[in-house]
Amino acid sequence: MEAIHTAQRMIQSAPGTPVARTLATLIAAMESEGQFELASLYDLDIETFDLALAILEDWRIDRYYAGQAKLFEHSALTTQS
């Protein structure tokens, strides 16, 4: 989650920059499960590119644990019936 907070700070500090727009678009696409043009990541400097990869990794881990929680909840409801 630290990567997303870092990106939020970058976006808020310079919202009109190409970097901020790319990061904001990436985060919005993940939240909405929408489309994102991966090629736009190559326009980022290496540090920001690494940050974008960290955002993707954090998001994937969060999605995994959310899925596990749903599975646990479903199995608990099934065993109570």
Question: What is the tens place of the pLDDT at every residue in 4-28?
Answer: 899 999 999 999 999 999 999 999 9
- Could you give the number of structural domains in the chain? 1
pLDDT band at 81 (very low <50, low <70, confident <90, very high): low
Per-range mean pLDDT, top range of 3-17, 50-64, 66-80: 3-17
Identity of the amino acid at 7: A
Domain extent, residue 41, equals: 2-80
Q: Averaged over 19-41, what is the pLDDT?
A: 94
- Element of type H or E holding 38: none
Distance CA 4, CA 29 (A): 13
- DSSP codes, 16-34: TSHHHHHHHHHHHHHHHT-
Distance CA 13, CA 21 (A): 12
